[in-house]
């Protein structure tokens, strides 16, 4: 029997990358999966495979975390049997552009802040009161090594992840005295669609990010996330900072010479 048999795990941004890998890893532990992203077609395609992998059940719905009213209404109007969320993985996020701050595009800044900071807050605000009321829950926020150390031309993305760090720590303080746990997962470079999204579909530029380096895989990150969710209920893992062996921090990489 899986370690999270029958527990309801809500994953935002489950249609790709780390979120999709989390769905797979939680499925293997027997969880009931509540999956959200804008690309509902992808979530629907994933569903049979997740059930086959061990998910007790799957409920997928389209959600743009930038839309506060839509987030509130989606959580409020969940089918009765999906309302008791045990684990929230606040994963939805993105980067846009790699520009010097003074030459950046304000619409890119808005999208990153609206998704990575405000979206995470909206989902948290909608889900956590139920956890407090039921006296059980775990919020796992997706941070980054980018929130620990700012890198050139990435100031706004790094700022969103520094904000995640502050929100993660603040939420843990505000939940002290309740049994609700709060964890930040802070990975370095992970090979996903992240760079493709950052460079708006420029494959060649995205591929260069991972050239001559072994990055983390989405499954590596999902493994750490499931580990934090399967500790004894009195153990709160505050933060997991993780990189591949080819990365020391958000600035230093071991690119192999060929």
Residues that bind ligand NAP (CB under 6 A): 12-19, 37-39, 63-66, 91-94, 115, 119, 142, 144, 187, 189-190, 192-194, 197
**Secondary structure of residue 10 in the 3-state scheme:** strand
Pairwise CA distance, residues 146 & 152, whole Å: 11
| Catalytic entry in 122, 151, 157, 210 | 157
Which C-beta is closer to ligand NAP: that of 91 or that of 124? Answer: 91
Minimum Å gap between C-beta 73 and ligand NAP is 15
| Dihedral of alpha carbons 62, 28, 25, 20, sign | negative
Minimum Å gap between C-beta 179 and ligand NAP is 26
Minimum Å gap between C-beta 231 and ligand NAP is 21
Q: How many other CB atoms are there within 10 angstroms of residue 168's CB atom?
A: 25
Minimum Å gap between C-beta 195 and ligand NAP is 7
Burial of residue 176 (number of CB atoms within 10 Å: 0-12, 13-18, 19+): exposed
Burial of residue 160 (number of CB atoms within 10 Å: 0-12, 13-18, 19+): buried
Does residue 157 have an active-site annotation? yes
Which C-beta is closer to ligand NAP: that of 63 or that of 155? Answer: 63
Q: How many other CB atoms are there within 10 angstroms of residue 61's CB atom?
A: 15
Which C-beta is closer to ligand NAP: that of 29 or that of 186? Answer: 186
* Strand ranges in 13-148 using DSSP code E only, listed in sequence order: 32-37, 57-62, 87-90, 137-142
Which C-beta is closer to ligand NAP: that of 178 or that of 217? Answer: 217
- Residues with active-site annotation: 157
């Amino acid at each position: 029997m899986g370690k999270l048999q029958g527990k309801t795990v809500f994953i935002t941004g489950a249609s790709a990358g780390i979120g999709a890998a989390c769905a797979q890893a939680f499925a293997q532990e027997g969880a009931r999966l509540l999956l959200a992203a804008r690309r509902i077609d992808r979530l629907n395609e994933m569903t049979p495979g997740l059930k086959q992998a061990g998910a007790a059940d799957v409920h997928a719905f389209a959600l743009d975390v930038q839309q506060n009213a839509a987030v509130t209404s989606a959580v409020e109007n969940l089918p009765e049997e999906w309302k008791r969320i045990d684990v929230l993985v606040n994963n939805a996020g993105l980067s846009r552009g790699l520009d010097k701050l003074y030459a950046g595009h304000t619409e890119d800044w808005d999208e990153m802040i609206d998704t990575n900071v405000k979206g995470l807050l909206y989902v948290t605000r909608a889900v956590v009161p139920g956890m407090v009321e039921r006296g059980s829950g775990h919020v796992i926020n997706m941070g980054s090594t980018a929130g620990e150390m700012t890198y050139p031309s990435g100031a706004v993305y790094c700022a969103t992840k520094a904000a995640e760090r502050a929100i993660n720590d603040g939420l843990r303080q505000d939940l002290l005295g309740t049994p609700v746990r709060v964890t930040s997962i802070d990975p370095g470079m992970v090979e996903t669609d992240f760079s493709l999204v950052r460079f708006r579909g420029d494959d060649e530029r995205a591929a260069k990010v991972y050239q001559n380096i072994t990055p983390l895989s989405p499954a590596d990150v999902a493994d750490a996330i499931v580990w934090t969710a399967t500790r004894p209920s009195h153990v709160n893992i505050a933060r997991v900072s993780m990189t591949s062996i080819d990365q020391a921090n958000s600035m230093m990489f071991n690119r192999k010479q060929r």
